């Protein structure tokens, strides 16, 4: 997880913990932004499997050169693009699968102001 988000997408390791009430975790993000991603692992129970093809984490990268650079960087790391379950995301984006099997879309468009 750390390699995909840290090296691949440029996130920083903001913190982490080991064996806190039976969980290990890592927090990744950007120090100047008011959010982080937290990935945890439970020592005593495996997560329930689920369909994650439409559970997406979407990053909007409006500048085409930055988008191309990021996609090339991920491919150079051996992280291959996969077809999106919803073809909408293949029109202006690229979908990847992170190490936990979650889908991450890098969308080449600005964040819609209608949200």
In the block, which residue shows the tokens 């999106």?
A: 84
- pLDDT computed for residue 49 by the predictor: 66
DSSP for 16-58? EEEEETTEEEEEEE-TTSS-EEEEEEESS-PPPP---TT-EEE
Pairing verdict, β 93-97 and 56-60? unpaired
pTM for this prediction: 0.79
CATH 3.10.180.10 correct for 52-115: yes
Write out pLDDT tens, residues 56-91.
Answer: 899 999 999 999 999 999 999 999 999 998 899 999
In the block, which residue shows the tokens 């988008």?
A: 67
The domain ranges of the chain are 1-45, 52-115
């Amino acid at each position: 997880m750390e390699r995909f988000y840290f090296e691949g997408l440029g996130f920083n390791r903001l913190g982490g913990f080991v064996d806190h009430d039976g969980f290990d975790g890592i927090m990744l993000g950007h120090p100047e932004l008011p959010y982080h991603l937290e990935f945890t692992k439970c020592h005593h129970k495996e997560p329930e499997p689920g369909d994650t093809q439409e559970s997406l984490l979407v990053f909007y990268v409006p500048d085409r050169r930055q988008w191309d650079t990021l996609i090339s960087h991920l491919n150079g790391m051996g992280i291959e693009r996969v077809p999106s379950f919803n073809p909408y995301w293949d029109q202006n984006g690229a979908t990847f699968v992170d190490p936990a099997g979650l889908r991450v879309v890098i969308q080449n468009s600005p964040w819609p102001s209608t949200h």
